[in-house]
Amino acid sequence: MIKLYSDAATKGNPGPTGLGWLIVTDGKQSQQNASLKLADNHHGEFAAAIAAFSDLSERFGTDQVVIYYTDSRLVADAIGKGYAKHYQKELDQLLTLIDTFPTVVTQWVSEGQNRGAHTLANQALNHMLAN
């Protein structure tokens, strides 16, 4: 079983956006981040989830059960419903990735419970703003 956390941090809305994700498997952590030059917070949250699942499948394959944690109610609800009014394109891309795994359980968590991914997203944002 793999635990996957993702988050986005945006300065302005839209604005520069940091993405962060944390993969926890066999007691080990893999911390990753990336950035987008311009995105609103919701697009950032979907982009972080897409990046996280893409990275997960590339590094660990798709034969594991995944518990996915996000502090974005929009992303968590959209995954559960299979629908996102203004973000269907992003959701469809995310669901295509999710569907490659045998089981993915999505869990909404508070920002405090998603601190690792939140920190990684802020690090990516701060790095982008400093350069």
The structure's pTM equals: 0.97
Does residue 48 sit in helix, strand or coil? Answer: helix
Mean pLDDT of 30-42: 97
Within a domain: residue 29? yes
Pairing type for strands 28-39 and 65-70 reads: unpaired
The total domain count for the chain is: 1
d(CA 3, CA 10): 24
Given a cut of 90, is residue 131 above it in pLDDT?
A: no
* 8 A C-beta contact, residue 74 and residue 106: no
The strand ranges marked E within 26-131 are 28-39, 65-70, 103-108
pLDDT > 90 in the chain, percent = 98
Examine residue 51 and state whether it is found in any structural domain, yes or no. Answer: no
DSSP letters along 88-101, please?
HHHHHHHHHHHTTS
Residue 18, in any domain of the structure: yes
Instruction: For residue range 69-95, list pLDDT tens digits in order.
Output: 999 999 999 999 999 999 999 999 999
Is residue 60 one of the residues assigned to a domain? no
Residue 52 covered by a domain: no
* Domain residue limits at 85: 2-45+68-121
For residue 63, which phi and psi values (nearest 5 degrees)?
-100, 15
> Could you tell me the CATH number of the domain that includes residue 102?
3.30.420.10
Render pLDDT for 48-64 as a digit per residue (tens, 0 to 9): 999 999 999 999 999 99
